[in-house]
Structure 1
Amino acid sequence: MTLHILALETSSSLCGVALLSQSQEGVAVQSASHDATAEHAERLLPMIDEVLASAGVQRNQVSTIAFGQGPGGFTGLRVACGVTQGIAFALNMPVIPVSSLLAVADQDYAARGDMPAAIRVVVQDARMAEVYLAAYGLEGTQGWKMLQPPVLLAVDDVGAWLDQAYRSAGQPKDGIRLLGDAVAEYPALVFLAQQRAWLSVGPALRASAEGIARLALRDWHAGRAVSPDLAAPLYVRNKVAFTTAERQEGAGGNPRAPMLEPTVVAPGIGQVIIDVMRRDDLNAVADIERSVQSFPWSRGNFADGLDAGYSAWVARQGGAVVGFYMAMHAPDIAHILVIAVRPDCQSHGVGNTLLQHCERRARERGLPALLLEVRPSNEKAITFYERLGFQVIATRKAYYPAGHGQREDGLVMQKNLDADLPADTGGKKGAVPLSGAPGQSGASQ
């Protein structure tokens, strides 16, 4: 039986349709494309009919529909996703969303698979002197691993991002390869490679429908097809411009993704990078938590925290996670839910760096204080927090599990970030919320 995958790609000005057919004889691909702006909606359906007719395949013979989910232009992404869902619902078939930036990395590898590169960084023109950026690495027969989820960056910030990515990856001997249509649009990106021996520049590729189809074939055999109601574009730029009111408050231009956090030097262990916690980090984070806590958070607890949108960050050293924290930003305070450092990296400044990072992000949000809980028996942690300016302001009775059916109190510690307010504000701005789910929070250093 022949497998037919219909693939659509409209994330850029390139509108493409491909039909990938896999049989005992091998894989064959039929495709059509058109390069123009603002024509995707009128071109896509006729191109689908053209490709299917050319291959002699009926719509009901198609097994699944794949689409480039972006990031990219809003209108183009909606067209591909909407057409995919309409056909899939009508024919009762699953769909396969595929990252358009990953398709670019895969297309480059397929064309130059003999060219070594530890990391492929794809930059797609996002207009307004910005790019959509993502990074991928190959893991042998396991396929692609996403090293950096798609973000929106100013062109001027790409160099700093690349420098940090190179350090974070342990300065891979095969270097980094930069590719995507933005390298043709912004000559400054090509100039970056002239200053960095470890950086090479690839072609100005855009995602193609054929590239989407080939990735979808792997996803199909891996069982990653989903119901059409779960299909959704990948939007990285959530808003095109600030409102008038936001500009009056000092914002201007287009909202951008924040720059990656700076590299710091932890005495005794070298460079440490503070980076966003990702799902790929959860096993390492849970391992560290188990190594320092008698009653640790589970991997599922951390996953729930990511899903809830908590501020979650890790400290990386040589690519390995050596510490982390997760915090909740309430309207009047930043609550550090959990923080920990790998035992062999303690007393080297990692915990201090993580807390400083948390404090800076709280200040950026105008929050007046940091709050955390700690066991009274954890004297080392209490001394550490006091040295950094935290004070004990309350006790949560029977807050922590202690084994054998017993409970241990939790000391509430707060660091005031507003010099005009005392540590205990008596219910005013920055007051400690003494209610909440007990037993899960636990800060350790």
Structure 2
Amino acid sequence: MTKILALDASTDACSVALSLNGETTHIFELAAKSHTQRLLPMVDEILRAANCTLHDLDAIAFGRGPGSFTGLRICIGIVQGLAFGANLPVIPVSTLQAMAQGFVAQNQNADLPLLVALDARMDEIYWGLFSADNIPNLLGTEHVMKPAKVGEQHLIANLEKQFIAIGPGWHYADLQNIVPEVLIQDVHPDARFMLPIALDAFDKGETQSIFDAQPVYLRDSVSWQKRQRIRTQSL
């Protein structure tokens, strides 16, 4: 059976998960600003507990974003080292899709579209609309924008409140004019919910070389603005 290790560090949460012989194990922690110290030891812990090595795996999946610029870079850096050392392909997984997958896994009777939102800082959110299928499909594209603009999107206006809102990005007051059927804010990307997506992608042959894998920021200005703040503070 397919053996996949999954890692995510795209938000304050830090998680790893392993699919081995049809069984799933996972470790999840809220570890803001500790991803560098925690992610690799968590990988070692989960592999050791399963009596498994990197060379036993078929692929490594990782949360490719959107999310924290720093967290995404930490995660892909670790994945690059692991995948290169063991000559493994990788599977990038949307963090928004993983959050939708988590809801579907825990609410199997859900049939409404899932509007997932993460706080992108700078008074913006990352968001995407997903189906409630066993493997949630992205309806449209993933976006980053001001919360007030979300309700103006044609795709959202047509929902007529018949959707489920997921994620901490929903804390913005400007989203309150979009009233969902259900609102669940306390949700984080979790590597264990990346596994069904990754296994499906592996079965379809949708793996990548680690040399081709890239994080998805949705806005190219994130790193530039971070550097600008650092320069300003050092003056």
With the length of structure 2 as denominator, give the TM-score of the two structures: 0.87
Aligned 1:331-342 pairs, distance under 5 A: none
Report the counterpart of residue 394 of structure 1 in structure 2.
none
Select 1:112's aligned residue among 85, 107, 131: 107
Q: What is aligned with 2:16?
A: 17
Which residue type is aligned with residue 172 of structure 2? Y
What are the superposed Cα offsets for residues 115-171 of structure 1, whole Å, 9 maximum, x if unpaired? 220x21111111222100111225x68x4332232211112222223xx21455xx5
Residue 356 of structure 1: aligned partner:
none
Deviation at 1:179, TM superposition (A): 1.1
Q: 2:205 aligned to 217, 223, 229, which one?
A: 223
- 2:190 paired with 1:208: yes
Q: Distance between the aligned counterparts of 2:23 and 2:76, measured in 1?
A: 24
**What amino acid sits opposite 1:212 in the alignment?**
M
Note the 1:292-371 alignment, pairs <5 A.
none
Within the candidate set 130, 136, 141, 2:124 is matched to 130
How much does 1:102 deviate? 0.6
Structure 1 residues 190 and 54 mapped into 2: Cα distance closer, same or farther (>3 Å)? Answer: farther
Q: Secondary structure at the match of 1:148?
A: coil
The equivalent of 2:230 in structure 1 is none
Greater share of residues in strand: 1
Higher helix share: 2
Give the equivalent residue in structure 2 for 1:175.
162
Distance 1:167 1:154 in 2: 16
Query: In the TM superposition, what is the alpha-carbon distance from 1:188 to its structure 2 partner?
Result: 4.6
Q: How does 1:409-420 map to 2 (within 5 A)?
A: none
Larger relative contact order (CA 8 Å, sep ≥ 6): 2
Aligned pair in 2 of structure 1 residues 39, 166: CA closer, same or farther (>3 Å)? closer
| Residue 55 of structure 1, CA deviation | 1.4
The residue matched to 2:197 in structure 1 has which SS? helix
List aligned pairs for 1:383-422, cutoff 5 A.
none
* Residue of structure 2 in register with 1:66 after alignment: 61
Q: Secondary structure at the match of 2:181?
A: strand
| Cα distance between partner residues in 1 of 2:224 and 2:56 | 47
CA distance in 2, matches of 1:145, 1:40: 29
Deviations 1:307-332 (A, max 9, x none): xxxxxxxxxxxxxxxxxxxxxxxxxx
Q: Deviations over 1:251-274 (max 9, x none)?
A: xxxxxxxxxxxxxxxxxxxxxxxx
Distance in 2 (alpha carbons) for counterparts of 1:167 and 1:12? 28
Q: TM-score, normalised by structure 1?
A: 0.47
1:71/1:132 contact within 8 Å kept: yes
CA distance in 2 between counterparts of 1:107 and 1:203 reads 12
After TM superposition, where is structure 1 displaced by more than 4 Å over at least 4 residues in a row?
Answer: none
Question: Unpaired segments of 5 or more residues in structure 2?
Answer: 226-235
> What code does the residue aligned with 2:155 have?
A
- Partner Cα separation in structure 2 for residue 49 and residue 188 of structure 1: 42
Question: Is 1:40 paired with 2:32?
Answer: no
- Any conservation in 1 of the 2:2–2:199 contact (CA below 8 Å)? no
Q: Please state how far the C-alpha of 1:4 moved relative to its aligned partner.
A: 1.7
Seen in structure 2, the aligned counterparts of structure 1 residues 214 and 241 have a Cα distance that, compared at 3 Å, is closer
CA distance in structure 1 between the aligned counterparts of 2:222 and 2:41, rounded to whole angstroms: 31
1:77-97 per-position Cα deviation (integer Å, ceiling 9, x unaligned): 111111112111111111100
Q: Give unmatched runs, 5+ long, in structure 1.
A: 194-198, 244-445
Match for 1:153: what amino acid?
M
1:38 Cα deviation after fit = 1.8
User: Alignment RMSD, CA only?
Assistant: 2.2
CA–CA distance in structure 2, aligned partners of residues 151 and 42 of structure 1: 30
**Does the CA-based 8 Å contact 1:166-1:176 persist in structure 2?**
no
